[in-house]
Amino acid sequence: MRELEERILKDGRVLPGEVLKVDGFLNHQVDPDLMFNMGTEFAHLFRDAGVTKILTVESSGIAPAVMTGLALHVPVVFARKHKSVTLIDDLYTAEVYSYTKKTSNHISIAKKFLSADDKVLLIDDFLANGQAVQGLFEICDQAKADVAGVGIVIEKVFQTGHQLVHDRGVRLESLAQITSFDDDRVHFASEQTD
Ligand code: 5GP
């Protein structure tokens, strides 16, 4: 998505460890117009997938997920993060290792918000090594819900998450695909096709 790539080039900053800082429009301050356009794009991409529910992880997945839900007219559920989970009777839970924070969290969703009747679209801000998406897959498996697809705002295609989604046989759509960082320059897959 050209608008997103231009915004990454304008406002993104490359940090050590191949982390892209985009707190000016996605991870801290949020640009609602850009989010709206991204939600519209995800909805367009998955409009024939029979999606009944959108799942994401708090907090940075929520804005793009809600905009997609708005466009598809389906509910959005965000998994909550906890250091540990003790009372889990009413929850689906999974353990997720965070790429940027280098710590593990449990994520959970109340059982009443996900069922075997659901066809789920997973939305997240970044795809790096795929741990967050893997956690959401596990939660869908526990609920016996079908995963219709994965929509990612920014994918770092040189990390392993892409393969993980591919191995599961689920459709993956990313609005910006970063192929590499060299020094502080960001390169996109679209540069190779332009
Ligand atoms: P994964 O679980 O795919 O390894 O990483 C996904 C999660 O880590 C995302 O939800 C995001 O919060 C965070 N993350 C991974 N890579 C980056 C990055 O380059 N920049 C930022 N801002 N967050 C990232």
pLDDT for residue 82 = 85
pLDDT for residue 84 = 72
Q: Of all atoms in ligand 1, which is nearest to the CA of residue 61? A: 10
Buried b (16+ CB within 10 A) or exposed e, 33-66: ebbbbbbebbbebbeebebbbbbbbeebbbbbbb
pLDDT for residue 184 = 84
Strand 91-97 to strand 104-110: parallel, antiparallel, or no bridges (unpaired)?
A: antiparallel
Q: Average pLDDT of each block of 10 consecutive residues along the chain (194 residues)? A: 98 95 98 98 98 97 98 98 79 91 92 98 98 98 98 97 97 98 93 71
Q: Could you tell me if the CB of 19 is within 6 A of ligand 1? A: yes
pLDDT for residue 100 = 82
**H-type alpha helices, the chain:** 2-11, 32-45, 62-72, 131-143, 161-168
CA 150 to each of CA 23, 30, 46, 62, 127: distance values in angstroms, whole numbers, following the listed order: 22, 21, 9, 14, 10
Q: Could you tell me if the CB of 129 is within 6 A of ligand 1? A: yes
Domain ranges of the chain: 2-189
Q: Could you tell me if the CB of 60 is within 6 A of ligand 1? A: yes
Q: In a 10 Å sphere around its CB, with 0-12 CB exposed, 13-18 middle and 19+ buried, how is residue 70 labelled?
A: middle
Give the CATH number of domain 2-189: 3.40.50.2020
Q: Of all atoms in ligand 1, which is nearest to the CA of residue 131? A: 2
Provide the whole-model pTM. Answer: 0.97
pLDDT for residue 194 = 53
